[in-house]
């Protein structure tokens, strides 16, 4: 299980979990941040073809602002576990402590570097969230979401300085808008 969108200024945090009964060999399956968008989409197709099941859980900015980004991530991860995991399955998550979930949980730094299933989940999460942000950017791209996916790039912060925050921006996140 892995997440994407924790450092974004707008849109959801997305958690994906993937369950495998065997591990296909592919150099494409690695931490999603190391892949180009095209390679991530290609890898996501491969993951979906080979996994037994997968789930994506979205937590949007209204709840993130109410409970904070870490708790929103934990909430999404717990929901993914309830949806996908059955007794006897061990959960591996990329460095988020989840507490007692009734199944063994390993929370490891850089788990997406060491565990195929976590790398696969990171790819699914990134492709899923990028799709959301591309759809939102196609509707209104004053904040350059088609390229920055909601992350705090210079052009995104300039958009905030010029147009203010949209209803999809996280109000609890500090932003230094750039006016030029």
- The two structure tokens encoding residue 85: 């995991």
Q: Is residue 173 part of a domain?
A: no
Q: What does the H/E/C string look like for the chain?
A: CEEECCCCCECCEEEEEEECCCCCCCCCCCCHHHCCHHHHHHHHHHHHHHCCEEEEEEECHHHHHHHCHHHHHHHHHHHHHHHHCCCCCCEEEECCCCCCCCCCEEEECCHHHHCHHHHHHHHHHHHHHHHHHHHHHHHCCCCCHHHHCCCCCHHHHHHHHHHCCCCCECCCCCCCCCCC
Through-space distance between the first and last CA atoms of the chain, rounded to whole angstroms: 40
Q: Give the pLDDT confidence score for residue 138 in this predicted structure.
A: 97
Q: What's the structural domain count of the chain?
A: 1
Q: Give the pLDDT confidence score for residue 23 in this predicted structure.
A: 82
Q: What is the pLDDT averaged over residues 94-101?
A: 91
- The two structure tokens encoding residue 54: 């997968």
Q: Is residue 163 part of a domain?
A: no
Please work out, in degrees rounded to the nearest 5, the angle formed at the alpha carbon of residue 75 by the alpha carbons of 72 and 81: 145
* Digit-coded pLDDT (tens) for 120-153: 999 999 999 999 999 999 999 999 999 999 999 9
Q: Is residue 151 part of a domain?
A: no
Q: What is the DSSP letter of 28?
A: T
Q: Is residue 21 part of a domain?
A: yes
* Digit-coded pLDDT (tens) for 42-90: 999 999 999 999 999 999 999 999 999 999 999 999 999 999 988 888 9
What pTM value is reported for the model? 0.94
Q: Which domain holds residue 94?
A: 2-140
Q: Is residue 58 part of a domain?
A: yes
Q: Is residue 40 part of a domain?
A: yes
Q: Is residue 52 part of a domain?
A: yes
Region at 172 (left for phi over 0; alpha for psi -120 to 50; beta for the rest): alpha
* Digit-coded pLDDT (tens) for 1-54: 999 999 999 999 999 999 998 888 788 888 888 999 999 999 999 999 999 999
Q: Is residue 178 part of a domain?
A: no
Percentage of residues of the chain with pLDDT beyond 70 = 99
Please work out, in degrees rounded to the nearest 5, the angle formed at the alpha carbon of residue 168 by the alpha carbons of 165 and 169: 45
Q: CATH number of the domain that 109 lies in?
A: 3.30.420.10
Dump the DSSP string for 135-150: HHHHH--TT-HHHHTT
């Amino acid at each position: 299980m892995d997440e994407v969108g924790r450092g974004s200024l707008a849109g959801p945090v997305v958690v994906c979990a993937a369950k495998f009964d065997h591990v296909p060999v592919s150099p494409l399956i690695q931490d999603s941040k190391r892949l180009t968008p095209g390679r991530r989409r290609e890898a996501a197709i491969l993951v979906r073809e080979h996994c037994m099941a997968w789930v994506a859980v979205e937590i949007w900015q209204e709840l993130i602002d109410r409970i904070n980004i870490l708790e929103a991530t934990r909430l999404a991860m717990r929901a993914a576990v309830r949806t996908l995991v059955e007794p006897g399955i061990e959960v591996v998550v990329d460095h988020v402590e989840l507490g007692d979930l009734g199944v063994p949980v390993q929370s490891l730094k850089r788990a997406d570097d060491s565990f195929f299933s976590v790398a696969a989940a990171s790819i699914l999460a990134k492709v899923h969230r990028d799709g959301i942000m591309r759809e939102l950017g196609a509707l209104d791209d004053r904040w350059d979401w088609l390229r920055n996916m909601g992350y705090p790039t210079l052009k995104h912060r300039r958009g905030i300085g010029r147009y203010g925050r949209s209803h999809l921006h996280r109000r609890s996140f500090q932003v230094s808008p750039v006016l030029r």
